[in-house]
Structure 1
Amino acid sequence: MDTLFFAHRGSSHKYSENTRAAYLQAIDEGADGIECDVHLSMDGQVVCHHDPTVDRTSDASGLVSAFTLEQLKAMDFTGVVPAEVPAEYGTENEQLLSLDELLALIEDRGKPVGLAVEIKHPSPYGYLLEDRVLQVLAGHGFDPQTGRAGSQGQIAVTLMSFEPDALRYLGRTVNTDLLCQLMTEVNPEYIQELLDSGQVGRAGVYSVLYRSVAEGIELINAGGAGIIGSGVAWTRANEQMVRRWLAEGRQARIWTVDRPADAQYLIDLGVGELTSNRPVELRRELEQH
Structure 2
Amino acid sequence: MDTLFYAHRGSSHKFSENTRAAYLQAIDEGADGIECDVHLTQDGIVVCHHDPTVDRTSDATGLVSGFTLSQMKAMDFTGVIPSLIPEDYGRENEQLLSLAELFEILEERSRPIGLAIEIKHPSPFGHLLEDGVLKVLADNHFDPSTGTAGSKSQIAVTLMSFEPESLRYLSRTVNKDLLCQLITEVDASWVDELVSTGQMGRAAVYEVLYRSVAEGIEFIDQGGAGIIGPGVAWTRANEKIVREWLERGLTARIWTVDRPADAQYLVNLGVSQLTSNRPAELRRELEQN
Q: Shared fold (TM-score greater than 0.5)?
A: yes
TM bin, normalised by shorter chain, reads: over 0.9
Separation in 2, partners of 1:205, 1:154: 39
User: Residue 52 of structure 2 aligns with which residue?
Assistant: 52
User: Residue 177 of structure 1 aligns with which residue?
Assistant: 177
- Pair 16,200 (structure 1): closer, same or farther in 2 beyond 3 Å: same
User: Residue 10 of structure 1 aligns with which residue?
Assistant: 10
- Pair 252,71 (structure 1): closer, same or farther in 2 beyond 3 Å: same
Matched, 1:93 2:106: no
Separation in 1, partners of 2:275, 2:206: 21
Amino acid at match of 2:159: L
- Pair 148,83 (structure 1): closer, same or farther in 2 beyond 3 Å: same
Shift of 1:187: 5.7
User: Residue 118 of structure 1 aligns with which residue?
Assistant: 118
User: Residue 106 of structure 1 aligns with which residue?
Assistant: 106
Separation in 1, partners of 2:253, 2:178: 12
- Pair 227,87 (structure 1): closer, same or farther in 2 beyond 3 Å: same
Counterparts of residues 141-160 of structure 1 (less than 5 Å): 141-160=141-160
User: Residue 237 of structure 1 aligns with which residue?
Assistant: 237
Secondary structure in 2 matching 1:166: helix
User: Residue 278 of structure 1 aligns with which residue?
Assistant: 278
Question: How big is each residue's C-alpha offset from its partner over 1:82-131, in whole Å with a ceiling of 9 and x where there is no partner?
Answer: 00101100000000000000011101101111000000001000000000
User: Residue 209 of structure 1 aligns with which residue?
Assistant: 209
Number of residue equivalences: 286
User: Residue 37 of structure 2 aligns with which residue?
Assistant: 37
Matched, 1:20 2:28: no
Separation in 1, partners of 2:62, 2:207: 21
Does structure 1 conserve the Cα–Cα contact (< 8 Å) formed by 2:63 and 2:197? no
Question: How big is each residue's C-alpha offset from its partner over 1:35-89, in whole Å with a ceiling of 9 and x where there is no partner?
Answer: 0000000000000000000000000010000111011000000000000101100
Separation in 2, partners of 1:7, 1:202: 33
Amino acid at match of 1:106: L
User: Residue 82 of structure 1 aligns with which residue?
Assistant: 82
Secondary structure in 2 matching 1:116: strand
Q: Percentage identity across aligned positions?
A: 74
Shift of 1:211: 2.1
Shift of 1:210: 2.4
Secondary structure in 1 matching 2:159: strand
Does structure 2 conserve the Cα–Cα contact (< 8 Å) formed by 1:36 and 1:116? yes
Does structure 2 conserve the Cα–Cα contact (< 8 Å) formed by 1:121 and 1:205? no
Secondary structure in 1 matching 2:209: helix
Separation in 2, partners of 1:220, 1:248: 11
- Pair 132,258 (structure 1): closer, same or farther in 2 beyond 3 Å: same
Q: TM-score, normalised by structure 2?
A: 0.95
RMSD: 1.9
Unpaired runs of at least 5, structure 2: none
Secondary structure in 2 matching 1:78: coil
Does structure 1 conserve the Cα–Cα contact (< 8 Å) formed by 2:53 and 2:197? no
Amino acid at match of 2:213: V
User: Residue 287 of structure 2 aligns with which residue?
Assistant: 287
Separation in 2, partners of 1:206, 1:173: 31
Separation in 2, partners of 1:117, 1:62: 23
- Pair 226,202 (structure 1): closer, same or farther in 2 beyond 3 Å: farther
Separation in 2, partners of 1:58, 1:217: 34
Shift of 1:212: 2.4
User: Residue 64 of structure 1 aligns with which residue?
Assistant: 64
Separation in 2, partners of 1:137, 1:198: 28
Q: TM-score, normalised by structure 1?
A: 0.95
- Pair 169,240 (structure 1): closer, same or farther in 2 beyond 3 Å: same
Unpaired runs of at least 5, structure 1: none
Separation in 1, partners of 2:197, 2:142: 41
Separation in 1, partners of 2:284, 2:208: 35
Amino acid at match of 2:210: Y
Separation in 2, partners of 1:210, 1:115: 28
Matched, 1:222 2:222: yes
Shift of 1:186: 1.0
Amino acid at match of 2:102: L
- Answer with 249-258 or 208-217: which moved more: 208-217
